[in-house]
Amino acid sequence: MTIRKDILKNIKTVVIKIGSSVISNREKGRRSLECGLSKDWVRHYASKIKTLREKGYDVVLVSSGAIMAGRERLEFGRADLTIPEKQACAAIGQSFLMHTYEKAFEKKGLKVAQILLSHEDLGNRTRYLNAKHTIEALLERGVVPIINENDSVTVEEIKIGDNDSLSATVACLVDAQLLIILSDVEGLYDRDPSLKNRPGAEKAQLISHISKVNEDIERIAGKSKNWLTVGGMLTKVLAAKKTMSFGIPALVVNGLDKKVVENIFAGKEVGTLFWSGKGKIRDRKHWIAHTLKPAGTLIIDEGARKALVERGKSLLPAGLVKVKGKFEFGNALILLDETGKEIGRGLVNYNSRDLEQIKGMKTSAVRNLMGESYYEEVIHRDDLVVF
């Protein structure tokens, strides 16, 4: 039994992310005003999802394309739009995108529901769980949830980042058993495949299976130059890294291959599979590590690093070397060792002003200084995720 066929045995819920480059009228030109939404590709994937539903799978769709569709309707031909222009495109494009999906799925006898999310929705634990319950209720009733980032109101400071990251968050949110990211390339290559025609350049090889996303893999991923997309291969790799930590395999495949869905569920070696086979971080700790937006950074000494990494202890004030950023009680922070390596993330028990006062201090001294505002731990181990 191959790894891929083994994964297919346990799938009940699958999240499919469709990129803008997959559902665009690419053939009409790189910067043409007509390079908008392709109804043919939307209908194609409505048909594929219908087939998956008939086989008993629950499907959640994360779709890009609102801004692209809005560009066409507002006749914005240039790539470098301002944030207000992107928000305007999203506002008009999202309704057109959903209308197109609704008509395509309706012909297949399926209902769809629109869910727009921002980082604020998922950064709040209560709203995070509300989103989870809403999606689960829709799936129980045979509805296909179609999720997108709320681009018409979000700005750079609160954006989830891109729909690759959003799809990974959604996969963890609904406890899916597979994330499929449909792109315009076959998967991750060991080098840039666009350089194949340069003199002396070696042919790029598709990487079939990645069991760990490290700095080398992230470096290989690089960044896309496709003007239709927000991220590129790097954001897909980082999305897969997120789902892997939750115990969910991710596949990055070529969505322009009309048989790719059938090939995936036949267990064929298509695209790049990201899968370590290990257990998952508990739900709440995964939320801390991968959903909350960090508000600051703490640099800790070697003794504190060993206490956290090797002995599973909480972070105490004595181990703090430096405090970066302005944050409040309960915010998520990044923890770095003295070499600058990220070792974890957690929820802090102090604001940045107080931490500046108590960093490096012994527990007894902190107690005397802070009085009733005293906490023994800067970050308690129950609120800490060590990578």
Domains and their CATH numbers in the chain: 3-282 (3.40.1160.10), 294-386 (2.30.130.10)
Q: How far apart are the first and last CA of the chain?
A: 31
CB–CB of 335/315 below 8 Å? Answer: yes
**Region of residue 299 (left: phi > 0; alpha: psi -120 to 50; beta: else):** beta
| Nearest-angstrom CA–CA distance, 77 and 264 | 36
pLDDT of residue 290: 83
With helix as H, strand as E and coil as C, how does 75-120 read? CCCCCCCCHHHHHHHHHHHHHHHHHHHHHHHHCCCCCEEEEEECHH
Q: Are 47 and 315 in contact (CB under 8 A)?
A: no
**Residue from 82, 40, 89 nearest 64 by CA:** 89
Q: What is the pLDDT of residue 201?
A: 58
* Sheet of strand 384-386, all strands in order from the earlier edge strand to the far edge: 320-324, 296-300, 332-336, 342-347, 384-386
Residue 194 confidence (pLDDT): 66
Judge contact between 315 and 306, C-beta under 8 A.
no
Does the global pTM surpass 0.85?
A: no
What is the token pair recorded at 4? 């891929």
Cβ atoms of 105 and 111 within 8 Å: the answer is yes
What are the distances in angstroms from CA 142 to CA 19, 95, 110, 135, 170? 24, 22, 8, 11, 18
CA distances from 125 to 116, 131, 219, 227, 283 (A): 17, 10, 33, 34, 11
For residues 347 and 379, is the Cβ–Cβ distance under 8 A?
yes
Residue 243, amino acid = T
Q: What is the pLDDT along the chain (387 residues), one digit of tens a residue?
A: 478 988 888 899 999 999 888 998 765 544 444 467 899 999 999 999 999 999 999 999 999 888 888 888 887 777 677 888 888 888 888 999 999 999 999 999 999 999 998 877 888 888 888 899 999 999 999 999 999 987 666 655 445 557 899 999 999 999 899 999 999 889 999 877 766 555 555 788 999 999 999 888 988 887 544 434 445 788 999 999 999 988 899 999 999 999 999 999 999 999 999 998 766 777 788 888 888 889 999 999 999 999 999 999 999 999 999 999 999 998 999 999 999 999 999 999 999 999 999 999 998 999 899 887 788 899 999 899 998
Residue with tokens 């790719």: 260
Distances (CA, A) of 43 to 46, 100, 138: 5, 9, 21
